Structure 1
């Protein structure tokens, strides 16, 4: 068993003890090939939540400050996370993310770049659109609905987004990110908190 699988199993036990977690649309995540999962960001607990609600191993971009602690940094690397400077303008991180996708793996992104303290969806950064346009990955929007304080969480995975039209229109990275965020917004609207 890999360290990632062990850690995910352990986190899953803890999360299921603490929270009521409902997952919708898990079947929308392709079982093979490159995938980018783009989710809204409401808490530091979000990456593990996405990690335990998918069957595939996810390579998350994480803010570089988290790697300044040697122990935490070592653990993050063992669970496939890699650092990025704030703003998603880190060329090394962008190259590493593209390599993850080129190898047919899953890249996990929180396009907003930082947590939303109010829960309101912020405008996403262009980095998500960059990865979408520069790779052959399928883009899966993900909405995290509810709150960790209420102990009730709904994770909704939408259907893969079609990128060909954006490439034909020569859309820029920000336009694509905006479209991804619009899909996340739709998932939120179609699955209100009251239904959890």
Structure 2
């Protein structure tokens, strides 16, 4: 209920203020576990990735946010769960895998923090994908969040990682990470 209300309010605000538009929503499966892997350019990105979809999208959020009065309880109600800065705790890994295995949608920024697209990606997204049967959907946020400018969220076709599943070697996780990041970068280039 809280998610639906907040999502609706944010949808109206983002569409009005940033002229947010979604492209490729049909690529996001309507059922089953889905891992949305996106570039990260602003603190405004988590809502951007999820508010135009018909499914609830959950995110990891830095632990410090949960200590902020009002904000902490609100983001928890919206489905966020804490992650420690500088590393992922066992609890946040378990929560992420559980969301995907139970058929939920998890939004993740493989580069970890906001950047201009040139940071090395971490292996968390690929690791979650390889340990579950979740569909991996690349997402590109294109635009600057300028008032009344145009911002676009583009969902690409799911990435096939079947060749990397079951091998278990660290190199395969690196290769899967590279494949995810390549798909995100291609979406950005094609939609600028």
**Counterpart in 1 of 2:161?**
163
For 1:145 and 1:70, locate their aligned partners in 2 and report how far apart those are by CA, in whole Å: 32
- Find out whether 1:42 has 2:41 as its counterpart: yes
Name structure 1 gaps, 5 residues minimum: none
Name structure 2 gaps, 5 residues minimum: none
Cα shift at 1:182: 0.8
TM-score, normalised to structure 1, is: 0.91
User: Where in structure 2 are the equivalents of 1:35-74 lying within 5 Å?
Assistant: 35-74=34-73
For 1:53 and 1:86, locate their aligned partners in 2 and report how far apart those are by CA, in whole Å: 28
2:150 to 143, 152, 170: 152
1:127 to 118, 124, 127: 124
Residues 134-158 of structure 1: CA deviation (Å, up to 9, x unaligned): 1110000000011112621111101
TM-score, normalised to structure 2, is: 0.93
**Counterpart in 1 of 2:134?**
137
Residues 42-65 of structure 1: CA deviation (Å, up to 9, x unaligned): 000001111212111011111112
For 2:118 and 2:47, locate their aligned partners in 1 and report how far apart those are by CA, in whole Å: 20
- 8 Å Cα contact 2:83/2:92 also seen in 1: yes
**Counterpart in 1 of 2:94?**
95
Q: Root-mean-square deviation (CA), in Å?
A: 1.5
**Counterpart in 1 of 2:112?**
113
